[in-house]
Chain A
Amino acid sequence: MDKLLQDPNQFVTDIVDGLVRSHPDYYEKVEGVNVIKRKDGTPSGQVGLVSGGGSGHEPAHAGYVGEGMLSAAVCGEVFTSPTPDMVLEGIKAADGGAGVLLIVKNYSGDVMNFDMAKELAELEGIQVETVIVNDDIAIKNAEDRRGVAGTVFVHKIAGAAAAAGKSLSEVKKAAEKAINQVRSIGMALSPCFMPESGKPGFELHENEMEIGIGIHGEKGIERKTVAPVNEIVSELLDRLTAEVTDKRIALMVNGMGGTPISELYLAYKYVSEQLEQREYSIARSYTGNYMTSLEMHGFSITLLAVDDELLGYLDAPSETIGFPVRSE
Chain B
Amino acid sequence: MKLTTEGLKTALLNTADQIEKQKDELTDLDREIGDGDHGINMSRGFTAVKKELEDKDSFADLGELSKLVGMTLIKTVGGASGPLFGTVFVKFATKWNGKSSVEGDVLYDGFKEAADGVAARGKSKAGQKTMLDVFEPFTEALKSDEPLETVIENALAYTKELKAEKGRASYFGDASKGLQDPGALSSSILLRQIAEVLNG
Interface positions of A (Cβ within 8 A of B): 54, 76-85, 107-109, 112-113, 116, 139, 144, 194, 196-197, 199, 201-202, 214, 216-219
Closest to B80 in A: A109
Contact between A196 and B78, CB atoms less than 8 A apart? no
Contact between A109 and B79, CB atoms less than 8 A apart? yes
Among B27, B74, B80, B122, max chain A CB count under 10 A is at: B80
User: Which residues from B are CB-within-8-Å of A77?
Assistant: 37, 41, 44, 78
User: Which residues from A are CB-within-8-Å of B175?
Assistant: 219
User: Which residues from A are CB-within-8-Å of B63?
Assistant: none
Contact between B35 and A112, CB atoms less than 8 A apart? no
User: Which residues from A are CB-within-8-Å of B82?
Assistant: 81, 83, 109, 113
Partner of B79, one of A81, A144, A202: A81
- Chain A: interface secondary structure? loop
A80-B171 in contact given A197-B36, A199-B36, A201-B36 (Cβ < 8 Å): no
Q: From residue A141, how far is it (CB to closest CB) to chain B in Å?
A: 8
Report the bound CA distance from A148 to B19 in whole Å: 32
User: Which residues from B are CB-within-8-Å of A219?
Assistant: 171-172, 175
Q: From residue A168, how far is it (CB to closest CB) to chain B in Å?
A: 25
A116-B78 in contact given A78-B37, A199-B31 (Cβ < 8 Å): no
Q: From residue A150, how far is it (CB to closest CB) to chain B in Å?
A: 17
Q: Which of B5-13, B51-59, B135-143, B162-170 contacts its partner?
A: B162-170
Report the bound CA distance from A84 to B87 in whole Å: 12
A113-B83 in contact given A83-B75, A83-B76 (Cβ < 8 Å): yes
26 A-B pairs (CB sep. < 8 Å): A76-B78, A77-B41, A77-B44, A80-B37, A83-B77, A84-B83, A85-B74, A107-B80, A108-B167, A109-B79, A109-B83, A116-B74, A139-B171, A144-B171, A194-B36, A194-B40, A196-B40, A197-B27, A197-B37, A199-B27, A201-B31, A201-B35, A214-B168, A218-B34, A218-B171, A219-B171
